[in-house]
Amino acid sequence: MSSELAKKRLILVFLTVGVWSLVFLLSFKSFPLAARSPTTLSITSDPANIRLRVDGKYYGNGYLSTPLKIKIPSGRHQIKVVREGYIAQIMNILGNPNDVINMENIVLEKDRRFAFSAVEINHIGQQPIQFEVNSGFASGETPRTVENLIRTKAHVITFFPNWPNTHDKERCKLVFPNDSGSQDSSIDNMSVVTVKSLKLRNGRTRLKITGCKKLRRKKH
């Protein structure tokens, strides 16, 4: 009888130890979870379209349009705000869990080491065409003039003939003629790209592009 009682007491001790161990482990794990609560960055900039590098890695795909809010892990970080042809700004931050850090009125200045040009994007047709330059460096509807493009680089203009379908796109590569040493955009060194809408029998739209070299169409 005493042997059975001892066994029951031993089982009870093991169960009690097991329960308290589980409670301890769950309590211990809750602290790291709280520490991993993110920090929010609230960003505005001029120009509005920028790219962000967080600890050396790009955040998102292509350019981001401000104002915007993003969440990053709490802790110490280096934030780099960049835009092609502009002088980057670097900020070191310390974000606590659930903090909101305001990074407002970030102004990027043009890098005067580069010569800049502009492109006038026109459209022949009744409806405007949605476009973007260099993965979001600039975007909008035709007609529009895009300035501050580095003159010595090739630039990719992407058109969306069946907007808001962003998977259906046509691209062209713009290369400025190297006959100008101007350090800024002006009418004298502006290129012109013209797109003409071609309606297909299935109701979709294709584009005829002049002024830049049409690239192979991507299919998704």
Tell me the pLDDT of the chain (220 aa) as tens digits: 566 666 666 666 556 656 556 555 555 444 444 457 899 999 999 999 999 999 999 999 899 999 999 999 999 999 999 999 999 999 999 999 999 999 999 999 999 999 999 999 999 988 899 999 999 999 999 999 999 999 999 999 999 988 998 988 999 999 998 755 455 544 456 899 999 988 777 777 788 999 999 997 655 4
User: Are residue 156 and residue 203 in the same domain, yes or no?
Assistant: yes
CB 155 within 8 A of CB 135: no
Residue 114 confidence (pLDDT): 94
Range of the domain at 179: 116-214
Phi, psi of 2 (to 5 degrees): -65, -35
User: Are residue 71 and residue 148 in the same domain, yes or no?
Assistant: no
Does 176 reside within a domain?
yes
User: Are residue 62 and residue 126 in the same domain, yes or no?
Assistant: no
CATH number at residue 103: 2.60.40.1120
The domain boundary residue, chosen from 107, 137, 159: 107
CA distance 202 to 161: 14
User: Are residue 138 and residue 195 in the same domain, yes or no?
Assistant: yes
**Beta-carbon count within 10 A of 142 CB:** 19
Does 154 reside within a domain?
yes
Number of domains in the chain: 2
User: Are residue 127 and residue 93 in the same domain, yes or no?
Assistant: no
User: Are residue 145 and residue 202 in the same domain, yes or no?
Assistant: yes
CATH number at residue 155: 2.60.40
Does 149 reside within a domain?
yes
User: Are residue 203 and residue 135 in the same domain, yes or no?
Assistant: yes
Quote the pTM value. 0.74
Does 147 reside within a domain?
yes
User: Are residue 140 and residue 79 in the same domain, yes or no?
Assistant: no
Does 161 reside within a domain?
yes
Does 33 reside within a domain?
no
117: nearest Cα among 139, 148, 145: 148
| DSSP bridge pairs for 54 | 57, 79
Residue 170 structure tokens: 């046509």
The domain boundary residue, chosen from 64, 82, 107: 107
The domain boundary residue, chosen from 57, 87, 107: 107
Residue 33 confidence (pLDDT): 44
User: Are residue 207 and residue 122 in the same domain, yes or no?
Assistant: yes
CA distance 200 to 206: 7
For 63, the enclosing helix (H) or strand (E) is strand 57-65
Does 125 reside within a domain?
yes
User: Are residue 141 and residue 87 in the same domain, yes or no?
Assistant: no
Does 65 reside within a domain?
yes
Judged by phi (left if over 0) then psi (alpha if -120 to 50, else beta), residue 135 lies in left
User: Are residue 85 and residue 136 in the same domain, yes or no?
Assistant: no
CB 110 within 8 A of CB 148: yes
Residue 30 confidence (pLDDT): 46
User: Are residue 162 and residue 101 in the same domain, yes or no?
Assistant: no
